[in-house]
Chains A and B, each alone.
Chain A
Amino acid sequence: MSLFLEIIAYFENSAVADAIRENDVLFPTIESVHVVAICLVVGSILVLDLRLLGFASVRRPVSRLTSAILPVTWGAFAVAASSGFLLFISNATKYLANGYFVAKMLLIAAAGLNMIVFHLISARDLPHWEKDHSPPLRARIAGAFSILLWIAVVACGRWIGFTMQAL
C-alpha cells in the first residue's frame, strides 16, 4: 500500500469522516457551504476573466481589479477546499475511484497552472497594457481558458453526484 493510500485511509477512518458519513445533516450542510464557496470562486474569477477578455470592467486597470478581487477568490477557495476535503474523506475510496472526481481535481490544477503561467509569463509586461480596454491576445487566451476550465470544474462536480453510489 502506497503512502498516499495510507494517508487517505487514515482520514477516511477518522472520527470526523465517520461523523460526516453517519450524520444525516452534516453531509448536506458541508455540501451547501461547498456550493456557496465554489459559486464565489467561479463568479469572482469570471470578473477577472471578462476583464482580460476586454468584455467587462474595461475602465479598471487589470492590477487594480486583481488586487480587489483575488482576496475574495482566495478566501472563498480556502472554504471550498476545506469543505471539499471534508466531503472527500467521508468516502475517499469511492471518490478516488470516480472519474469525474479525478477529472475535477486535474481541472482545478490546470486552472491553477493557467493562472501561474499568466502571472509569470503573459503578465510580465502588465504595466504596459493593463489600462487597455482590450488586453493582448495572450491575456485574452488566459481569460478564455480560465472560463472554460472553471465551467468544466463545476460540470464535473455536478456529475460526481450522479455517478457516486448513494452514501
Chain B
Amino acid sequence: MQAALSELSKWLASTSLSHTIQTVTWIIPTLQTIHILSVAVVFSAAVLVDFRMFRMFERDVPLPEISRRFLRAIWPVLLVLLLTGSLLIVGEPRRSLLNSTFYLKMVLLLAAVLLTAVLQGSIAASPGFWERDRGRRIAGKALATLSIAIWCGILFAGRWIAYTQAG
C-alpha cells in the first residue's frame, strides 16, 4: 500500500500539471486561500445550524428554513474544496498521500458529510423531527455537538498536514 502510494505520488509529481503548480509560485498559496475561504463557508454554515439545534441562533426561525438557508450552501462549495484540494495534492503529492493526518482528515470529512446529509434529510422529510419530544431534542443537541467536534477536527487536521508531512 505504502509502496503503491509512493509510486502514485512519484507519477503525479512527474505530470506537467504538477510541474506547473510546483514552479509557478503564486499557484499554491492561491489554491490554499480559495480552499480556506471555502472551508470558512462550509464550516460556518454547519456550525450555525448546529447552534440553531441548541436554540442559540435565530430560534424564532423554524429549523427547516434554517436548514434551507445554510445547509444547502454546503454542497456546491464542497465541490470547490474537492477541486482545490485535488490540485494541491497534484502539486505536492507526498505532502498528503504519504501522510496519515491527511487520511484522518478524509475520514472525518466523510463523517461530516454523512452527518450533514442525515441532518438535512431528516429535517426536509419531517420539519419537527428534532423538536418533537424531549428525547429528540437531546438527540439533536448530541448530533449538533458531534457535528461541531468533527468539523473542528477537519480544520485541525488540515493545518496539521503541514507539520506531519514525510521528510
Q: B89 near A: Cβ within 8 Å?
A: no
Q: Indicate if the CB atoms of B160 and A44 lie closer than 8 Å.
A: no
Q: Indicate if the CB atoms of A72 and B33 lie closer than 8 Å.
A: no
A65 to B163, CA, bound (A): 39
- Among residues 25 to 68 in chain B, which have CB atoms less than 8 Å away from a CB atom of chain A? 28-30, 32-33, 36-37, 39-41, 43-45, 47-48, 51, 57-58, 60-61
Chain B count of residues within 8 A CB distance of the other chain: 29
Grouping DSSP codes into helix (H, G, I), strand (E, B) and loop, the A interface class, with mixed when no group exceeds half, is helix
Q: Which segment, of B16-24, B78-86, B151-159, faces chain A?
A: B151-159
B contact residues around A39 at 8 Å (CB): 36, 39-40, 43-44, 155
Q: Which segment, of A8-16, A129-137, A150-158, faces chain B?
A: A150-158
Contact pick for A158, options B29, B48, B60, B163, CB 8 Å: B29
5 residue pairs of the A-B complex, CB under 8 angstroms, read A38-B40, A39-B36, A40-B44, A43-B48, A68-B58
Interface residues, chain A, with chain B CB atoms under 8 Å away: 28, 31-32, 35-36, 38-40, 42-44, 46-47, 56-57, 60, 64-65, 68, 72, 151, 154-155, 158-159, 161-162
Interface residues, chain B, with chain A CB atoms under 8 Å away: 28-30, 32-33, 36-37, 39-41, 43-45, 47-48, 51, 57-58, 60-61, 69, 152, 155-156, 158-160, 162-163
Having A40-B47, A158-B33, one finds 20 other A-B pairs with CB under 8 Å, namely A28-B159, A28-B163, A32-B159, A32-B160, A35-B155, A36-B43, A36-B156, A39-B39, A39-B44, A39-B155, A40-B44, A64-B58, A72-B51, A72-B57, A154-B40, A155-B30, A158-B32, A158-B36, A159-B29, A161-B29
